[in-house]
């Protein structure tokens, strides 16, 4: 292999050319991804208003023992569970519906994908106005129908922002599942029909097992997105009522920019990164085992 990549060989010239093309991407990731992560890790070992006092593991031990940090993580975990389950169920259901030979399915697909292409800030402002208890459109519709107005952001705030997140992201998961469905050979279903399998049995025995890679990807992306959620809590509920929607990233934001404790917030960010990486690795291993089983 080393001989093939010598400077004088054709493969060596190809390798140099490939690295030159990769250099801008490598520099970009180094400057805007790896270096900031390293800076956050280093800041987590310091304390003080300017994070200029060495504290070692003090911030990390404090974060692990802080009830507010544990509460924000539990809130985030509940939020992520709702988002993951909803993304898989709704995305697959919509993909199965659109995969049928129906008129206007292309338009329906585009309409569902538009919210995903919209920024979280715009979606948050839109739904905050819709769910406003006094001036919101949704309560006005209920009153026009003779129904009582609801306190949408107070009754079940975590479920509300999870529903908004699903409304925005379900179009993307639908496209992923639709691509997976269209990649399943039709001969499998035809053979199952000949054997007398109905639609429900074909779904459980053929469609769902063959969608395992797509389901794994959707679940991993949904977990990462749920654990990193910020804009929904910041714009729609402000973390309230009380701390009912105090998501982890929102809590870290408050620690950093409201209490000005950048060392403590950096330590919490590193701990959250470790949790995200751990969950991702566990999901990938479990997904690979399930694929082998199928």
> Is residue 51 in some structural domain?
no
User: Same structural domain for residues 34 and 97?
Assistant: no
DSSP assignment, residue 33? I
Mean pLDDT over each residue of the chain, to the nearest integer: 88
- Tell me the C-alpha distance between 16 and 271, whole Å: 38
Work out the number of other CB atoms within 10 angstroms of the CB of residue 249.
19
Which residues span the domain enclosing 189? 57-290
Q: Does residue 293 have a pLDDT over 70? A: no
**Are residue 35 and residue 138 in the same domain, yes or no?**
no
The Cα 268–Cα 73 span in angstroms is 10
Q: Is residue 208 part of a domain?
A: yes
Residues 6 or more apart in contact with residue 123 via CB below 8 angstroms:
115, 164, 167, 168, 231
- Please, which pLDDT band fits residue 155 given cuts at 50, 70 and 90? confident
CATH of the domain at 98: 1.10.3720.10
Does residue 288 surpass a pLDDT of 80?
A: no
Provide the CB-side half-sphere exposure for 241 (13 A, CA): 7
| Residue 50 belongs to some domain of the structure | no
**CA–CA dist 45, 59 (Å, integer):** 7
Task: Say yes or no: 285 and 177 in one domain.
Answer: yes
Is 110 within a domain?
yes
pLDDT digits (tens, 9 = 90+) for 69-81: 999 999 999 999 9
Range 55-80 average pLDDT: 94
9 and 33 belong to one structural domain: yes
Handedness of CA 39, 275, 171, 204 (dihedral sign): positive
Question: How far apart are the two ends of the chain, measured CA to CA in Å?
Answer: 37
Phi, psi (5° rounding) for residue 119? -70, 155
**Contact between 60 and 271 (Cβ < 8 Å):** yes
Count of domains forming the chain: 2
Same domain, residue pair 7 and 118: no
Q: Is there a domain that residue 49 lies in? A: no
| CB 44, CB 61: distance < 8 Å | no
pLDDT of residue 123: 95
CA distance 168 to 178: 17
- Predicted local distance difference test score (pLDDT) of residue 1: 46
Residue 269 in this model has a pLDDT that exceeds 90: yes
CA angle 8, 9, 14 (to 5 degrees): 110
Residue 108 lies in a domain: yes
What is the arithmetic mean of pLDDT over 141-166? Answer: 91
81 in a domain, yes or no?
Answer: yes
Judgement on whether residues 30 and 71 belong to the same structural domain of the protein: no
Claim to verify: residue 63 and residue 125 sit in the same structural domain: yes
Residue 225 is given by DSSP the state H
List the one residue out of 72, 52, 69 whose CA is nearest residue 60: 69
Are residues 152 and 239 located together in one domain of the fold?
A: yes
Element (H, E) at 158: helix 157-182
- Tell me the pLDDT tens digit for each residue of 189-227: 888 888 888 889 989 988 999 999 999 999 999 999 999
Quick one: average pLDDT of 34-45? 90
Q: Are residues 124 and 226 in the same domain?
A: yes
Give the whole-angstrom CA distance, residue 18 versus residue 22.
6
70 and 216 share one domain: yes
Q: 119 and 28, same structural domain? A: no
Q: Let me know if residue 52 belongs to a domain.
A: no
Cα–Cα distance, 37 to 16 (Å, whole number): 29
Residues 164 and 28 in one domain: no
């Amino acid at each position: 292999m080393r001989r093939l990549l010598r400077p004088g060989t054709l493969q060596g010239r190809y390798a140099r050319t490939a690295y030159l093309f990769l250099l801008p991407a490598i520099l970009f990731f180094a400057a805007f991804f790896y270096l900031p992560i390293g800076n956050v890790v280093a800041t987590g070992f310091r304390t003080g208003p300017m994070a200029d006092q060495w504290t070692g593991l003090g911030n990390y031990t404090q974060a692990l023992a802080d009830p507010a940090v544990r509460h924000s993580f539990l809130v985030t975990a509940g939020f992520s569970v709702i988002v993951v389950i909803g993304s898989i169920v709704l995305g697959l259901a919509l993909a199965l519906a659109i995969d049928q030979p129906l008129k206007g399915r292309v338009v329906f697909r585009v309409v569902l994908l538009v919210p995903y292409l919209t920024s979280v800030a715009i979606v948050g402002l839109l739904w905050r106005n819709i769910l406003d208890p006094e001036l919101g459109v949704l309560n006005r519709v209920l009153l026009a129908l003779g129904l009582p107005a609801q306190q949408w952001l107070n009754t079940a705030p975590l479920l509300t922002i999870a529903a908004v997140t699903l409304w925005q992201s379900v179009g993307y998961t639908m496209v992923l599942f639709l691509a997976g469905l269209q990649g399943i050979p039709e001969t499998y279903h035809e053979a199952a029909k000949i054997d007398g399998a109905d639609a429900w049995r074909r779904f459980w025995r053929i469609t769902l097992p063959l969608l395992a890679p797509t389901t794994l990807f959707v679940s991993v992306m949904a977990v990462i997105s749920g654990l990193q959620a910020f804009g929904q809590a910041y714009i729609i509920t402000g973390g309230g009522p009380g701390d009912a929607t105090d998501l982890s990233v929102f809590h870290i934001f408050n620690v950093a920019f409201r209490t000005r404790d950048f060392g403590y917030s950096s330590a919490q960010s590193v701990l959250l990164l470790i949790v995200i990486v751990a969950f991702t690795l566990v999901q990938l291993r479990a997904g690979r085992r399930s694929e082998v089983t199928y």
